[in-house]
C-alpha cells in the first residue's frame, strides 16, 4: 500500500481488518515501529473523531504527530497558471511541497464543496497532495470517500456478525443541511469489496453515484429494506444527480424503535456526529443495539493498521 485514499489502495480488505483487530487487542505491541517517524495531519474541515483517533493511533505506534487545523479559511490556490491576485495567499504547489519536506506521512481532510460535481468527483485537492508531496498520503475524508471510517466500520461488523454474510442495509435519513456523499459512497465500496451483500434504501432521486453501488440492491421502501437486517447503517447524504440537493422534509425516514423492530435484532451504525431525533431517534441511539461508540473507538485501530502498513514502505 503506497497511499490510503480508497479501498482500491488495499490489497486484501479482510487482511487489513484482521490487522486492525490485532491492533485493538494489543494497541501498544507495535510501539517501536514508528519511532523517529513523523505524521502531519491537515484539516481543511473540522473533526473530532478523525483527528483524535489518528493521533491516538500514531502515538500507539511511537510516532510524532503534528496537526494543522486550517478549517478557519486558509485559502489555497489549486489551479496552475492563474494570476494569484485574489483571496488565496498560497499555491498548493508550494504548500504541499513544503509539507512533504516536513513529514514522513501526511493526512489531509477536504470535504466536497457540493457546488461543482465534476470538480468534487475529480478529487482536486487530494490528487494534488498525491502529486506534490512525494510522501504517502492518507485520506482523512475527501470529497467522495472516507476510507478510515469505512475500515473501522468493517472492523465493527466483523466483530459483531453472527453469520458469515449478514444482511447489511445502508439507509438514507433526513438532515437539515446538505451533506457530502463521501461516507455513504465509501461504506458501499468497502462492504461490496469485502463480499457482503448490501441493500441501499433511499428516497427517489437520492441514489448514490453508480460507480460506488454496482452490485448493491437499491430500495425505495425503507421498511421493506430493513426487514431481517443484521446491520442498519444510517446516514444522510445530499443528492448526487441533482447535485447537493437535500430533502429535510422526508422526516419519516428517521430511524425509530419501530423501524428497528423490523430487523433481525439489527445493530445500529452511524459514523457520527449524529443529530438526535432528526437522523436517529434517541431511544435507538441509547439502546443496546447501538454500535456508534464502538465504531468511533475502532477508528483508532483502523488508523493504526493503515499507518503501520504505510510505515513499512518508508
Ligand atoms: N466520523 C468522523 O469522521 O467524525 P469527525 O468528522 O469528527 O472526524
Handedness of CA 132, 71, 304, 63 (dihedral sign): positive
C-alpha cell at 70: 486550517
The enclosing domain of 250 has a CATH number of 3.40.50.1370
Q: Are residues 169 and 278 in the same domain?
A: yes
Among 52, 272, 292, which residue has the most ligand 1 atoms within 8 Å of its CB, making it the best to mutate?
Answer: 272
pLDDT value, residue 72? 83
Q: Are residues 306 and 285 in the same domain?
A: no
Q: Is the CB of 149 under 6 A from ligand 1?
A: yes
Q: Is the CB of 54 under 6 A from ligand 1?
A: no
Q: Are residues 174 and 245 in the same domain?
A: yes
Q: Is the CB of 52 under 6 A from ligand 1?
A: no
Q: Are residues 137 and 54 in the same domain?
A: yes
Q: Is the CB of 50 under 6 A from ligand 1?
A: yes
pLDDT value, residue 73? 75
Q: Are residues 264 and 197 in the same domain?
A: yes
Residue 278 lies in a domain: yes
- Nearest atom of ligand 1 to the alpha carbon of 109: 8
Per-residue pLDDT of the chain (314 residues; tens, 9 = 90+): 999 999 999 999 999 999 999 999 999 999 999 999 999 999 999 999 999 999 999 999 999 999 999 988 788 999 999 999 999 999 999 999 999 999 999 999 999 999 999 999 999 999 999 999 999 999 999 999 999 999 999 999 999 999 999 999 999 999 999 999 999 999 999 999 999 999 999 999 999 999 999 999 999 999 999 999 999 999 999 999 999 999 999 999 999 999 999 999 999 999 999 999 999 999 999 999 999 999 999 999 999 999 999 999 99
Instruction: Name which residue sits closest to atom 6 of ligand 1, judged by CA.
Output: 47
Q: Is the CB of 49 under 6 A from ligand 1?
A: yes
Q: Are residues 130 and 165 in the same domain?
A: no
Q: Which residues contact 64 (CB under 8 A, 6 or more apart)?
A: 37, 38, 39, 58
Q: Are residues 94 and 162 in the same domain?
A: no
Residue 96 lies in a domain: yes
Residue 11 lies in a domain: yes
Residue 275 CA, ligand 1 centroid: distance in Å: 13
Residue 81 CA, ligand 1 centroid: distance in Å: 34
Residue 1 lies in a domain: no
Q: Are residues 162 and 289 in the same domain?
A: yes
pLDDT value, residue 164? 98
Residue 22 lies in a domain: yes
Q: Are residues 126 and 39 in the same domain?
A: yes
Residue 58 CA, ligand 1 centroid: distance in Å: 17
Q: Are residues 154 and 276 in the same domain?
A: yes
Q: Is the CB of 167 under 6 A from ligand 1?
A: no
Residue 255 lies in a domain: yes
Q: Is the CB of 272 under 6 A from ligand 1?
A: yes
Residue 257 CA, ligand 1 centroid: distance in Å: 25
Q: Are residues 111 and 176 in the same domain?
A: no
Could you list the residue range(s) of the whole structural domain that residue 97 is in?
7-145+299-311
Residue 271 CA, ligand 1 centroid: distance in Å: 7
Q: In the chain, how many domains are there?
A: 2
Residue 44 CA, ligand 1 centroid: distance in Å: 13
Among 41, 44, 50, which residue has the most ligand 1 atoms within 8 Å of its CB, making it the best to mutate?
Answer: 50
Residue 2 lies in a domain: no
Q: Are residues 179 and 291 in the same domain?
A: yes
Amino acid at each position: 500500500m503506497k497511499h490510503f485514499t480508497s479501498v482500491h489502495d488495499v490489497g486484501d480488505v479482510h487482511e487489513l481488518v484482521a490487522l486492525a483487530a490485532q491492533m485493538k487487542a494489543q494497541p501498544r505491541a507495535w510501539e517501536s515501529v514508528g519511532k523517529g517517524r513523523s505524521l502531519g495531519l491537515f484539516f481543511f474541515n473540522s473533526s473530532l473523531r478523525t483527528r483524535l483517533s489518528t493521533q491516538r493511533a500514531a502515538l500507539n505506534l511511537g510516532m510524532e504527530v503534528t496537526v494543522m487545523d486550517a478549517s478557519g479559511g486558509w485559502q489555497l490556490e489549486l489551479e496552475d497558471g492563474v494570476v494569484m491576485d485574489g483571496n488565496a495567499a498560497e499555491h498548493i504547489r508550494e504548500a504541499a511541497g513544503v509539507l512533504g519536506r516536513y513529514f514522513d506521512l501526511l493526512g489531509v481532510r477536504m470535504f466536497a464543496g457540493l457546488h461543482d460535481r465534476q470538480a468534487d468527483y475529480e478529487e482536486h485537492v487530494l490528487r494534488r497532495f498525491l502529486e506534490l508531496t512525494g510522501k504517502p498520503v492518507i485520506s482523512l475524508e475527501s470529497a467522495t470517500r472516507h476510507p478510515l471510517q469505512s475500515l473501522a466500520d468493517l472492523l465493527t461488523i466483523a466483530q459483531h456478525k453472527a453469520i458469515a454474510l449478514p444482511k447489511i442495509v445502508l439507509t438514507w435519513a433526513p438532515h437539515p443541511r446538505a451533506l457530502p456523499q463521501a461516507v455513504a459512497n465509501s461504506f458501499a465500496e468497502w462492504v461490496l469489496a469485502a463480499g457482503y451483500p448490501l441493500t441501499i434504501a433511499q428516497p427517489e432521486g437520492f441514489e448514490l453515484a453508480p460507480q460506488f453501488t454496482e452490485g448493491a440492491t437499491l430500495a425505495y421502501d425503507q421498511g421493506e429494506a430493513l426487514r431481517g437486517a443484521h446491520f442498519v447503517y444510517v446516514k444522510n447524504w445530499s443528492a448526487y444527480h441533482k447535485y447537493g440537493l437535500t430533502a429535510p422534509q422526508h422526516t419519516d425516514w428517521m430511524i425509530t424503535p419501530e423501524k428497528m423492530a423490523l430487523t433481525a435484532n439489527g445493530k445500529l451504525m452511524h459514523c457520527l456526529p449524529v443529530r438526535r431525533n432528526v437522523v436517529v431517534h434517541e431511544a435507538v441511539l441509547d439502546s443496546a443495539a447501538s454500535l456508534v461508540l464502538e465504531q468511533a473507538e475502532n477508528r483508532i485501530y483502523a488508523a493504526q493498521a493503515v499507518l503501520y502498513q504505510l510505515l513499512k514502505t518508508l
